[in-house]
Structure 1
Amino acid sequence: MASREHRYAVAVEWTGNTGSGTESYAGYSRDHLLTTPGKPDIAGSSDPDFRGDPSRWNPEEMLVGALAACHQLWYLHLCASAGIRVLAYRDAATGVMAENADGSGQFAQVTLRPEVTIGAGDNVQHARALHEEAARLCFLARSVRFPIKHEPVIVAE
Protein backbone atom coordinates (compact mmCIF):
# COMPACT_ATOMS: atom_id res chain seq x y z
CA MET A 1 0.00 0.00 0.00
CA ALA A 2 1.34 3.43 -0.89
CA SER A 3 1.81 5.86 1.94
CA ARG A 4 -0.46 8.88 2.15
CA GLU A 5 0.15 12.24 3.74
CA HIS A 6 -2.41 13.97 5.91
CA ARG A 7 -1.97 17.65 6.70
CA TYR A 8 -3.37 19.57 9.63
CA ALA A 9 -3.56 23.34 9.96
CA VAL A 10 -4.14 25.08 13.28
CA ALA A 11 -3.71 28.80 13.87
CA VAL A 12 -2.41 29.94 17.25
CA GLU A 13 -3.01 33.57 18.12
CA TRP A 14 -1.58 35.18 21.26
CA THR A 15 -4.33 37.22 22.95
CA GLY A 16 -2.38 38.13 26.07
CA ASN A 17 -0.98 41.59 25.29
CA THR A 18 -2.07 43.57 28.35
CA GLY A 19 -0.84 46.85 26.89
CA SER A 20 2.95 46.71 26.86
CA GLY A 21 3.61 43.46 25.03
CA THR A 22 6.44 41.40 26.47
CA GLU A 23 8.19 44.36 28.05
CA SER A 24 8.53 42.27 31.23
CA TYR A 25 8.12 38.57 32.04
CA ALA A 26 5.31 39.26 34.49
CA GLY A 27 3.68 41.94 32.35
CA TYR A 28 1.85 39.82 29.81
CA SER A 29 -0.75 37.09 29.79
CA ARG A 30 -0.02 33.66 28.32
CA ASP A 31 -3.54 33.45 26.87
CA HIS A 32 -3.95 32.34 23.27
CA LEU A 33 -6.55 30.80 20.96
CA LEU A 34 -6.16 27.72 18.81
CA THR A 35 -8.41 27.90 15.78
CA THR A 36 -9.21 26.00 12.63
CA PRO A 37 -12.11 26.60 10.25
CA GLY A 38 -15.43 24.99 11.16
CA LYS A 39 -14.53 24.01 14.74
CA PRO A 40 -14.88 25.66 18.16
CA ASP A 41 -11.87 27.66 19.32
CA ILE A 42 -9.71 26.24 22.10
CA ALA A 43 -8.78 28.74 24.80
CA GLY A 44 -5.17 28.09 25.74
CA SER A 45 -2.62 29.39 28.17
CA SER A 46 0.49 28.07 29.85
CA ASP A 47 0.61 25.84 32.91
CA PRO A 48 -0.22 27.89 36.02
CA ASP A 49 3.33 27.20 37.26
CA PHE A 50 4.48 29.31 34.30
CA ARG A 51 2.08 32.21 34.94
CA GLY A 52 -0.77 30.66 32.94
CA ASP A 53 -4.52 30.81 33.42
CA PRO A 54 -5.68 27.60 35.17
CA SER A 55 -9.12 27.86 33.53
CA ARG A 56 -7.62 27.39 30.05
CA TRP A 57 -6.04 24.32 28.43
CA ASN A 58 -2.25 24.27 28.44
CA PRO A 59 -0.11 22.50 25.79
CA GLU A 60 0.95 19.79 28.24
CA GLU A 61 -2.67 18.87 29.03
CA MET A 62 -3.50 18.88 25.33
CA LEU A 63 -0.60 16.51 24.61
CA VAL A 64 -1.74 14.03 27.28
CA GLY A 65 -5.33 14.33 26.06
CA ALA A 66 -4.32 13.86 22.43
CA LEU A 67 -2.39 10.68 23.25
CA ALA A 68 -5.33 9.30 25.25
CA ALA A 69 -7.81 10.15 22.48
CA CYS A 70 -5.61 8.63 19.76
CA HIS A 71 -5.28 5.40 21.74
CA GLN A 72 -9.04 5.32 22.37
CA LEU A 73 -9.90 5.78 18.71
CA TRP A 74 -7.55 3.01 17.59
CA TYR A 75 -8.83 0.73 20.34
CA LEU A 76 -12.47 1.25 19.38
CA HIS A 77 -11.61 0.57 15.74
CA LEU A 78 -9.76 -2.64 16.60
CA CYS A 79 -12.56 -3.87 18.87
CA ALA A 80 -15.18 -3.19 16.21
CA SER A 81 -13.10 -5.13 13.66
CA ALA A 82 -12.64 -8.01 16.13
CA GLY A 83 -16.33 -8.23 17.03
CA ILE A 84 -15.80 -7.00 20.60
CA ARG A 85 -18.61 -4.70 21.71
CA VAL A 86 -17.24 -1.76 23.67
CA LEU A 87 -20.11 -0.31 25.68
CA ALA A 88 -18.17 2.26 27.71
CA TYR A 89 -14.65 3.70 27.61
CA ARG A 90 -13.10 6.19 30.02
CA ASP A 91 -9.44 7.04 30.50
CA ALA A 92 -7.82 8.86 33.43
CA ALA A 93 -4.54 9.66 31.64
CA THR A 94 -1.64 11.37 33.38
CA GLY A 95 1.65 12.80 32.19
CA VAL A 96 4.92 13.64 33.93
CA MET A 97 7.08 16.46 32.62
CA ALA A 98 10.58 17.01 34.00
CA GLU A 99 11.75 20.62 34.07
CA ASN A 100 15.48 21.21 33.74
CA ALA A 101 17.58 23.82 35.57
CA ASP A 102 17.75 26.01 32.45
CA GLY A 103 13.93 26.15 32.21
CA SER A 104 13.65 23.64 29.36
CA GLY A 105 11.90 20.36 29.92
CA GLN A 106 10.50 17.23 28.41
CA PHE A 107 7.89 14.62 29.13
CA ALA A 108 9.29 11.66 31.06
CA GLN A 109 6.20 9.52 30.49
CA VAL A 110 2.47 9.39 29.98
CA THR A 111 0.28 6.73 31.56
CA LEU A 112 -3.05 5.76 30.04
CA ARG A 113 -5.58 4.08 32.33
CA PRO A 114 -8.51 3.12 30.14
CA GLU A 115 -11.49 1.53 31.88
CA VAL A 116 -13.44 -0.41 29.29
CA THR A 117 -16.77 -2.18 29.58
CA ILE A 118 -17.40 -4.80 26.92
CA GLY A 119 -20.48 -6.83 26.09
CA ALA A 120 -21.37 -9.93 28.09
CA GLY A 121 -19.75 -12.98 26.56
CA ASP A 122 -17.08 -11.00 24.67
CA ASN A 123 -13.47 -12.14 25.07
CA VAL A 124 -11.88 -10.16 27.93
CA GLN A 125 -8.35 -11.41 27.16
CA HIS A 126 -8.64 -10.44 23.50
CA ALA A 127 -10.03 -7.03 24.53
CA ARG A 128 -7.03 -6.53 26.83
CA ALA A 129 -4.57 -7.57 24.09
CA LEU A 130 -6.05 -5.06 21.66
CA HIS A 131 -4.68 -2.26 23.87
CA GLU A 132 -1.18 -3.38 22.89
CA GLU A 133 -2.14 -3.28 19.22
CA ALA A 134 -3.72 0.18 19.62
CA ALA A 135 -0.51 1.39 21.29
CA ARG A 136 1.52 0.08 18.35
CA LEU A 137 -0.72 1.76 15.75
CA CYS A 138 -1.52 5.14 17.37
CA PHE A 139 -0.16 7.90 15.15
CA LEU A 140 0.71 10.18 18.06
CA ALA A 141 2.27 7.51 20.29
CA ARG A 142 4.52 6.55 17.39
CA SER A 143 5.64 10.19 17.13
CA VAL A 144 6.85 10.91 20.67
CA ARG A 145 10.19 10.10 22.31
CA PHE A 146 8.98 9.20 25.79
CA PRO A 147 7.37 6.01 27.08
CA ILE A 148 3.62 5.63 27.16
CA LYS A 149 2.50 3.12 29.75
CA HIS A 150 -0.85 1.34 29.58
CA GLU A 151 -2.84 0.14 32.58
CA PRO A 152 -6.13 -1.04 31.09
CA VAL A 153 -9.02 -2.43 33.10
CA ILE A 154 -11.50 -4.51 31.12
CA VAL A 155 -14.91 -5.39 32.60
CA ALA A 156 -17.53 -7.53 30.91
CA GLU A 157 -21.12 -6.31 31.18
Structure 2
Amino acid sequence: MRELFEAVLPDAEIEAFAEELGVVKRQRKLDVVTFTRAAVISANTPSGGMQADALRAYSESGAPRVARSSFYQRFDESFERLMGRLAERAMELARLEKVDLPGILGGVKDWRIVDSSTVKVRDALKADLPGTGDYAALKVHQTEVDPVFWTTPIFAF
Protein backbone atom coordinates (compact mmCIF):
# COMPACT_ATOMS: atom_id res chain seq x y z
CA MET A 1 0.00 0.00 0.00
CA ARG A 2 2.82 2.35 0.88
CA GLU A 3 4.51 1.75 -2.48
CA LEU A 4 1.26 2.51 -4.31
CA PHE A 5 0.79 5.77 -2.42
CA GLU A 6 4.36 6.82 -3.05
CA ALA A 7 4.03 6.03 -6.77
CA VAL A 8 0.71 7.80 -7.28
CA LEU A 9 1.19 10.55 -4.68
CA PRO A 10 4.95 11.21 -4.50
CA ASP A 11 6.09 13.38 -1.59
CA ALA A 12 7.77 15.95 -3.85
CA GLU A 13 4.65 16.45 -5.98
CA ILE A 14 2.34 16.76 -2.98
CA GLU A 15 4.68 19.33 -1.47
CA ALA A 16 5.05 21.27 -4.76
CA PHE A 17 1.30 21.30 -5.47
CA ALA A 18 0.56 22.24 -1.85
CA GLU A 19 2.89 25.22 -2.05
CA GLU A 20 1.63 26.27 -5.49
CA LEU A 21 -2.04 26.07 -4.45
CA GLY A 22 -1.58 27.85 -1.12
CA VAL A 23 -2.08 24.87 1.17
CA VAL A 24 1.38 25.53 2.62
CA LYS A 25 2.33 29.16 3.03
CA ARG A 26 5.19 28.55 5.46
CA GLN A 27 6.68 25.57 7.25
CA ARG A 28 4.44 24.46 10.10
CA LYS A 29 4.15 21.57 12.48
CA LEU A 30 1.58 19.80 10.27
CA ASP A 31 3.18 17.44 7.74
CA VAL A 32 1.30 18.18 4.49
CA VAL A 33 2.27 14.88 2.84
CA THR A 34 1.03 12.78 5.75
CA PHE A 35 -2.04 15.00 6.08
CA THR A 36 -2.91 14.48 2.40
CA ARG A 37 -2.40 10.74 2.54
CA ALA A 38 -4.46 10.51 5.76
CA ALA A 39 -7.33 12.33 4.00
CA VAL A 40 -7.15 9.90 1.07
CA ILE A 41 -7.02 6.84 3.33
CA SER A 42 -9.92 8.03 5.47
CA ALA A 43 -12.15 8.60 2.45
CA ASN A 44 -12.83 4.87 2.35
CA THR A 45 -13.60 4.32 6.03
CA PRO A 46 -16.93 2.95 7.24
CA SER A 47 -17.93 6.38 8.54
CA GLY A 48 -17.53 7.93 5.11
CA GLY A 49 -14.27 9.83 5.37
CA MET A 50 -14.99 12.11 8.28
CA GLN A 51 -12.29 14.56 9.31
CA ALA A 52 -11.97 12.67 12.60
CA ASP A 53 -10.94 9.57 10.60
CA ALA A 54 -8.30 11.61 8.77
CA LEU A 55 -7.01 12.94 12.10
CA ARG A 56 -6.84 9.40 13.49
CA ALA A 57 -4.93 8.15 10.40
CA TYR A 58 -2.61 11.16 10.62
CA SER A 59 -1.91 10.60 14.33
CA GLU A 60 -1.39 6.85 13.90
CA SER A 61 1.19 7.48 11.17
CA GLY A 62 3.60 8.90 13.74
CA ALA A 63 3.38 12.43 12.34
CA PRO A 64 3.89 15.36 14.73
CA ARG A 65 0.86 15.88 16.97
CA VAL A 66 -1.28 18.89 16.14
CA ALA A 67 -4.29 20.46 17.80
CA ARG A 68 -7.61 19.14 16.51
CA SER A 69 -8.75 22.66 15.55
CA SER A 70 -5.51 23.29 13.63
CA PHE A 71 -5.97 20.02 11.76
CA TYR A 72 -9.61 20.70 10.86
CA GLN A 73 -8.80 24.22 9.62
CA ARG A 74 -6.68 22.65 6.86
CA PHE A 75 -9.79 21.31 5.11
CA ASP A 76 -10.30 24.49 3.10
CA GLU A 77 -10.56 25.58 -0.55
CA SER A 78 -6.80 25.38 -1.13
CA PHE A 79 -6.78 21.78 0.14
CA GLU A 80 -9.78 21.00 -2.07
CA ARG A 81 -7.81 22.31 -5.07
CA LEU A 82 -4.82 20.18 -4.03
CA MET A 83 -6.96 17.06 -3.85
CA GLY A 84 -8.44 17.87 -7.27
CA ARG A 85 -4.96 18.26 -8.76
CA LEU A 86 -3.80 14.99 -7.22
CA ALA A 87 -6.91 13.20 -8.49
CA GLU A 88 -6.22 14.51 -12.01
CA ARG A 89 -2.63 13.29 -11.77
CA ALA A 90 -3.71 9.85 -10.53
CA MET A 91 -6.17 9.56 -13.44
CA GLU A 92 -3.45 10.54 -15.92
CA LEU A 93 -1.24 7.78 -14.54
CA ALA A 94 -4.10 5.27 -14.67
CA ARG A 95 -4.79 6.14 -18.32
CA LEU A 96 -1.14 5.41 -19.18
CA GLU A 97 -1.43 1.86 -17.86
CA LYS A 98 -1.94 -0.88 -20.43
CA VAL A 99 -5.38 -2.44 -20.16
CA ASP A 100 -4.89 -6.03 -19.07
CA LEU A 101 -8.07 -7.96 -19.76
CA PRO A 102 -7.23 -11.61 -20.39
CA GLY A 103 -9.37 -14.10 -22.27
CA ILE A 104 -12.77 -13.15 -23.57
CA LEU A 105 -12.44 -9.56 -22.24
CA GLY A 106 -9.19 -9.02 -24.17
CA GLY A 107 -10.81 -6.98 -26.95
CA VAL A 108 -12.98 -4.74 -24.74
CA LYS A 109 -12.35 -1.06 -25.46
CA ASP A 110 -15.37 0.56 -23.83
CA TRP A 111 -17.59 -0.03 -20.81
CA ARG A 112 -21.22 0.75 -20.14
CA ILE A 113 -21.65 1.68 -16.49
CA VAL A 114 -24.91 0.76 -14.76
CA ASP A 115 -25.95 1.57 -11.21
CA SER A 116 -29.23 1.15 -9.39
CA SER A 117 -31.06 2.44 -6.35
CA THR A 118 -34.25 1.39 -4.64
CA VAL A 119 -36.67 4.20 -3.89
CA LYS A 120 -39.49 3.73 -1.40
CA VAL A 121 -42.85 5.07 -2.57
CA ARG A 122 -46.26 5.58 -0.92
CA ASP A 123 -47.57 2.54 0.97
CA ALA A 124 -50.80 2.77 -1.01
CA LEU A 125 -48.82 1.38 -3.97
CA LYS A 126 -47.65 -1.73 -2.08
CA ALA A 127 -49.89 -4.10 -4.07
CA ASP A 128 -48.66 -2.80 -7.43
CA LEU A 129 -45.05 -2.03 -6.47
CA PRO A 130 -43.96 -4.46 -3.73
CA GLY A 131 -40.52 -3.84 -2.28
CA THR A 132 -38.30 -6.48 -0.72
CA GLY A 133 -39.57 -5.55 2.75
CA ASP A 134 -42.93 -4.43 4.05
CA TYR A 135 -43.09 -1.37 1.81
CA ALA A 136 -43.72 -0.24 -1.77
CA ALA A 137 -40.68 0.52 -3.91
CA LEU A 138 -39.24 1.24 -7.35
CA LYS A 139 -35.83 0.10 -8.50
CA VAL A 140 -34.19 2.81 -10.58
CA HIS A 141 -31.35 1.82 -12.92
CA GLN A 142 -29.06 4.49 -14.25
CA THR A 143 -26.67 4.01 -17.14
CA GLU A 144 -24.00 6.09 -18.84
CA VAL A 145 -25.19 6.97 -22.34
CA ASP A 146 -22.31 9.06 -23.69
CA PRO A 147 -18.79 10.18 -22.78
CA VAL A 148 -20.05 13.42 -21.23
CA PHE A 149 -21.60 11.23 -18.50
CA TRP A 150 -25.21 12.18 -19.12
CA THR A 151 -27.32 9.53 -17.51
CA THR A 152 -30.72 8.18 -18.31
CA PRO A 153 -32.85 6.65 -15.57
CA ILE A 154 -34.50 3.36 -16.42
CA PHE A 155 -37.36 2.45 -14.12
CA ALA A 156 -37.94 -1.21 -13.25
CA PHE A 157 -41.25 -2.17 -11.70
Is the structural similarity TM-score above 0.5? no
TM range (shorter): under 0.3
Relative to total residues, which structure has the larger strand share, 1 or 2? Answer: 1
Larger radius of gyration between Structure 1 and Structure 2: 2
Q: Which has the higher contact order (CA 8 A, sep 6+)?
A: 1
TM-score (normalizing by structure 1) = 0.26
TM-score (normalizing by structure 2) = 0.26
